[in-house]
Amino acid sequence: MDGSERSRRLQRVYSAKDNRELAEGYDLWAKDYEDDMLSLGYSLPAVAAGFVGRHVAPGGSLLDAGAGTGMFGGILRVLGYGDLVGIDISGRMLERAAKKGAYRDLRRMVLGEPLGFDSGFFSAAVSVGVFTTNHAPPGALDELVRVVEPGGWVIFSVRDDVYRDGGFEEKQASLENDGRWGRVTMSEAFQPFPAGNTSHLNRLFVYKTA
């Protein structure tokens, strides 16, 4: 694999100036995305699946927000989560996810805008690799909480510097202060690309909705 091509593709999405550029970047990356991420040892879906397995009873409906090519959904399906709905800003990433056959429904939606689901529709919302530099904003969490039933779960990763400097720490605390959810777990910061040379640590968060 050509490492410089891979870096260029990563750089393109992390430096996107708006949602149009971001969606375009992922549309162009969709074909090579999984090879690139796997070659870097991408660990977020596997680690997050552990937290889902620990808390979310199989049987309910799960929303995978920023599902991409469906790497997370593929794992969740094997773990017995059979009712998965995926959303993403990139149509080409969703086309790849559809080929996995892991999702009941896949729709193009934008995190940070109103989501086209009824309140309390899902028993859990999960999201990995999406709350990071120049991707979905902290305000997207409002909609994830809204579409999850009371007593349900919101489980997601946040890049650690984005958590501290990108408004996530404040947003997550304000949802807690407003009584919308309670924090169950904040993982230690860990390297999501153990085979790469990036030092951008991520954390996994588990919240129970009120």
Ligand X SMILES: C[S@@+](CC[C@H](N)C(=O)[O-])C[C@H]1O[C@@H](n2cnc3c(N)ncnc32)[C@H](O)[C@@H]1O
User: Is 44 a binder of ligand X (CB under 6 A)?
Assistant: yes
Out of 76, 81, 129, 152, the only residue in the binding site for ligand X (CB under 6 A) is: 129
User: Is 126 a binder of ligand X (CB under 6 A)?
Assistant: no
With b meaning 16 or more CB within 10 Å and e meaning fewer, what string describes 59-86? eebbbbbbbbbbbbbbbbbeeebeebbb
Q: How many residues bind to ligand X according to rule CB under 6 A? A: 21
- Given the structure tokens 């951008």, which residue do they identify? 200
What is the Cα–Cα distance from 95 to 106, expressed in whole angstroms? 9
User: Is 130 a binder of ligand X (CB under 6 A)?
Assistant: yes
User: Is 135 a binder of ligand X (CB under 6 A)?
Assistant: yes
CB of 68 to ligand X, least distance (A): 3
Scanning residues 6 to 35, which ones bind ligand X (CB under 6 A)? 22, 26
CB of 139 to ligand X, least distance (A): 10
CB of 112 to ligand X, least distance (A): 5
Out of 106, 136, 145, 206, the only residue in the binding site for ligand X (CB under 6 A) is: 136
Sign of the Cα torsion 26, 194, 45, 15 reads negative
Q: How far is CA 136 from CA 86, 93, 113, 192, in A?
A: 15, 16, 10, 18
User: Is 88 a binder of ligand X (CB under 6 A)?
Assistant: yes
Cβ proximity to ligand X, 90 vs 150, nearer residue: 90
Strand order in the sheet with 122-131: 105-108, 83-88, 61-65, 122-131, 148-159, 202-209, 181-186
**At 16, phi and psi to the nearest 5?**
-60, 135
- Cβ 133 vs Cβ 164: under 8 Å: no
CB of 177 to ligand X, least distance (A): 25
User: Is 131 a binder of ligand X (CB under 6 A)?
Assistant: no
- Rounded to whole angstroms, the maximal C-alpha distance in the chain is 48
| Among the listed residues 77, 81, 72, 48, the one whose alpha carbon sits nearest the alpha carbon of residue 158 | 48
Out of 40, 56, 62, 71, the only residue in the binding site for ligand X (CB under 6 A) is: 71
Out of 52, 84, 89, 162, the only residue in the binding site for ligand X (CB under 6 A) is: 89
Binding site for ligand X (CB under 6 A): 22, 26, 44-45, 66-68, 71-72, 88-90, 93, 110-112, 128-130, 135-136
